[in-house]
Amino acid sequence: PVLKVALMGLGGYANRVAEAMQSCTKAKLTGIVSGTPSKIKDWQNKYAIPEKNCYSYDTFDQIKNNPDIDVVYVTTPNALHHDNVLRAAAAGKHVICEKPMALNAREGREMIAACKKAGVQLLVGYRMHFEPKTLEVIRMRNAGEFGKIMFFQGQCGFRIGDPTQWRLNKALAGGGSMMDIGIYALNGARYMVGAEPVWVTAQETKTDPVKFKEGVDETIQFQLGFPDGTVASCLSTYNMNYLDRFFLNGEKGFAELQPSTGYGPIRGRTHKGELTQPHKTHQTVQMDEMAGILLEGKQPLVPVNGEEALKDLQIIDAIYQSVKTGRRVDLHLG
């Protein structure tokens, strides 16, 4: 069987996912949801999508009667994820939601509960969880090849352009760099260390309060503490380029990925040498693997469900709290 996917919110990332899905063997773009009629026409032509599988935000709820759609993939701005996921679940469709799953843990819990109640699955677009070099580092760690994990460093950022974009609008983005790119360092700390943090500390630096308004973080440094004493030190920024690097240190070895989360080939090495797993377009692999999860009940090595995303949201809530209070915040994830 092939997973029949409707994309909702036809922006930059939806375009990338649609392109990548053309090379999928187990997932297919069969529907679209957009508030812009001209985009619907363009996408229909490009991807041969029949009229009956095209929805506006007004007609979307009728998707429940459409057997050509198994899952709605939500790629709208962050603040809209919550309501869009609730609508898709109410229509009886599985949902894939982009990261960050929501603006905070409270919203995240509501989304998990709504999907559970509707009997549909909720997955989040954590494409790195399927990336071969990343998975090799995780395999090596699980096999004990790094020994006891001592330290992780994750640095993720870029210099953001256009000051009018939604990513710099608190109401639509829910925050700044941390919501958008810092989440990769945070989520990476968890899957590279292979444990859940028990405390967080965080500090914010803002050099341009005009571009980065109240509630929109420019740069955040945060530290995570794990139960056995392992620590992570991370940087999230909208003000520096060439920042996409993971470093994992253990008693018997290390792994370094740079770039660690970008779309292009991930590069990496460990104390044993270069990582040589071949590059495949992340979103192609992700969608084929998600088809396996949704249709065949496959279990990924690193989870990509709502509960996994909720942990990131809980930690982000704590990061913002620590920035505000200047204090360490204890975490009780789940």
Residue 259, preceding bond cis, omega within 30 degrees?
yes
Candidates 93, 99, 133, 311; catalytic one: 99
Residue carrying structure tokens 């997932």:
27
* Phi/psi-derived region of residue 76, left when phi > 0, alpha when psi is between -120 and 50, beta in every other case: beta
Q: Which is nearer to ligand NAD, 12 or 334 (CB)?
A: 12
4 is catalytic: no
How near is the Cβ of 166 to ligand NAD at its closest, in Å? 5
With 0-12 / 13-18 / 19 or more C-beta atoms within 10 angstroms meaning exposed / middle / buried, residue 250 is buried
| Closer to ligand NAD by Cβ: residue 30 or 76 | 76
Checking phi first, is residue 244 left (phi over 0); if not, alpha (psi -120 to 50) or beta? beta
Task: Write down the least CB distance from residue 3 to ligand NAD, Å.
Answer: 18
Nearest approach, Cβ of residue 29 and ligand NAD (Å): 15
8 A C-beta contact, residue 30 and residue 53: yes
Residue 157's φ and ψ, nearest 5 degrees, are: 180, 170
Q: Which residue is nearest to ligand NAD (CB)?
A: 11
Return the ∠ at Cα 180 (arms to 267 and 126), rounded to 5°. Answer: 55
Closer by beta carbon to ligand NAD, 36 or else 203: 36
Distances (CA, A) of 238 to 162, 165, 172: 12, 13, 16
Looking at the Cβ atoms of 80 and 329, the one nearer to ligand NAD is 80
- Which tokens hold the place of 87? 């609508």
Rounded to the nearest 10 degrees, what angle do helices 282-296 and 12-21 cross at?
A: 70
Shortest distance, position 143 Cβ to ligand NAD, whole Å: 28
Q: Please give the residue ranges that form the binding site for ligand NAD (CB under 6 A).
A: 9-14, 35, 75-78, 80, 98-99, 125, 127, 166, 180
Q: Which is nearer to ligand NAD, 128 or 291 (CB)?
A: 128
Minimum gap (Å) between residue 98 Cβ and ligand NAD: 4
Give the active site residue among 184, 191, 238, 320. Answer: 184
Q: Is 184 a catalytic residue?
A: yes
Q: Whole-angstrom Cα distance, residue 258 to residue 184?
A: 13
- Is there a contact between 194 and 141 (Cβ–Cβ < 8 Å)? yes
Burial per residue of 138-157, b for 16 or more beta-carbon CB atoms within 10 angstroms, e otherwise: bebbeeebbeebbebbbbbb
Q: Which is nearer to ligand NAD, 75 or 260 (CB)?
A: 75
Q: How far is the CB of 108 from ligand NAD (least distance, A)?
A: 14
Q: Report, as residue numbers or ranges, the catalytic residues.
A: 99, 184
